[in-house]
A = this chain, B = another copy of it.
Amino acid sequence: MKVVVLAGGVGGAKLADGLAATLPDEEITVVVNTGDDFEHLGLHISPDLDTVVYTLAGVANPETGWGRAGDTWNFLETLRSLGGPDWFRLGDKDLALHAERTRLLAEGWSLSDVTAHVAQALGVGPRVLPMTNDRVGTVVETADGPLPFQEYFVARGCEPAVVGFRFEGAAAARPAPGVLEAIGEADRVIFAPSNPWVSIDPILAVPGIRGALSAKTVVAVSPIVGGRAIRGPAAKMFSDLGIQPSAEAVAVHFREVLKGIVIDEADADQEAGIRQLGLDVRVTATVMKTSADRRRLADEVILFASSPAAG
């Protein structure tokens, strides 16, 4: 069964890792948000692509979810001692990927070629594609004015109240090579438990992707569990926008593209309401703490996506 996973960072990476433990590598394509990509110290940084690639390569830092296991911080500590900007945490090993990507992009490589090259060097099996090779920048509209995503997320700690989102450059962006083909060939498309507003929506904002999904069976895994995000600002974003954060709110957000949604046992009481939206629902344990959790959730998601109701 061929699957395409739309993914942001940690949640998407974990689910993709679970799928890779279940399905043959060649049946998995992960399409990753690049709206958080930014330039820092002259380096092109792709936080979500890196988290997905590191996780699938088995070299991700298990404590942080981002960056590499066993990394060191001599670069960052020295940068700080020189008065340089230390707000973005760059490990010494992690930095090498940013430098090499920046170098290859400057040589004219596309982001998808760089990603494939890095994935191969790190021994990643499933195909990992950026949503686009064009520049799309997520801007968080806040009470303090518009903020580029990393500034909102890292520098401001998600503190300013969100009033909306903008994906700069999206209208002119093209899906990266292989994205529409993978969706076209996919038996199922899965929205990973990633932030709806700033991980999945930027992917859907790339012209052609939403349309390609309309012919597909699409299921989501809710990133909101018990009214909270497993990690990151998704719940706060719902709240700031005047929406009670819940699995049901995620279902409402994506109702036009989804056939079904996987929600956590903690949210079982929302099943009926979601079914009233016309969506199928699977209730299961969705929090991925261990490798076994990842695989079990992946199995559940595949079973659910293959069931007659969702399909």
Known: A74-B92, A82-B122. 13 other contacts (CB 8 A): A41-B99, A41-B102, A42-B102, A74-B91, A74-B96, A75-B92, A77-B96, A78-B96, A79-B100, A81-B121, A82-B96, A83-B121, A92-B92
Is A99 touching B74 in the complex (CB atoms < 8 A)? no
Per-residue B-contact encoding for A43-66, CB less than 8 Å = 1, 0 else: 100000000000000000000000
A287 at the interface (CB under 8 A from B): no
Q: Which of A218-275 contact B (CB under 8 A)?
A: none
A22 at the interface (CB under 8 A from B): no
Is B103 touching A85 in the complex (CB atoms < 8 A)? yes
Is B106 touching A84 in the complex (CB atoms < 8 A)? no
Contact of A78 among B42, B77, B85, B93 (CB under 8 A): B93
Whole-angstrom distance between the Cβ of A257 and the nearest chain B Cβ: 36
Is B97 touching A82 in the complex (CB atoms < 8 A)? yes
Using Cβ atoms and an 8 Å threshold, which residues of chain B touch A96?
74-79, 81-82, 84
Using Cβ atoms and an 8 Å threshold, which residues of chain B touch A84?
96, 99-100, 103
Is A75 touching B102 in the complex (CB atoms < 8 A)? no
Is A103 touching B72 in the complex (CB atoms < 8 A)? no
A95 at the interface (CB under 8 A from B): yes
A288 at the interface (CB under 8 A from B): no
A293 at the interface (CB under 8 A from B): no
Q: Which of A113-133 contact B (CB under 8 A)?
A: 117-118, 121-122
Does more than half of chain A's interface fall in helix, strand or loop, or is it mixed? helix
A118 to B95, CA, bound (A): 21
- Give the number of residues in A that approach B within 8 Å (Cβ atoms): 32
Using Cβ atoms and an 8 Å threshold, which residues of chain B touch A75?
75, 92-93, 95-96, 99
Using Cβ atoms and an 8 Å threshold, which residues of chain B touch A187?
none
A299 at the interface (CB under 8 A from B): no
A71 at the interface (CB under 8 A from B): yes
Is B76 touching A42 in the complex (CB atoms < 8 A)? no
Residue of B nearest to A43 (CB): B42
Using Cβ atoms and an 8 Å threshold, which residues of chain B touch A121?
81-83
Interchain residue pairs A-B with the least CB separation, the first 7: A78-B96, A74-B92, A84-B100, A79-B96, A92-B92, A78-B93, A41-B99
A79 to B92, CA, bound (A): 10
Using Cβ atoms and an 8 Å threshold, which residues of chain B touch A83?
100, 117, 121
| Pairs A–B under 8 Å by Cβ, sample size 6 | A42-B103, A72-B72, A72-B74, A81-B122, A84-B100, A85-B103
Whole-angstrom distance between the Cβ of A225 and the nearest chain B Cβ: 35
A10 to B68, CA, bound (A): 35
A96 to B71, CA, bound (A): 16
Is B117 touching A100 in the complex (CB atoms < 8 A)? no
Whole-angstrom distance between the Cβ of A298 and the nearest chain B Cβ: 28
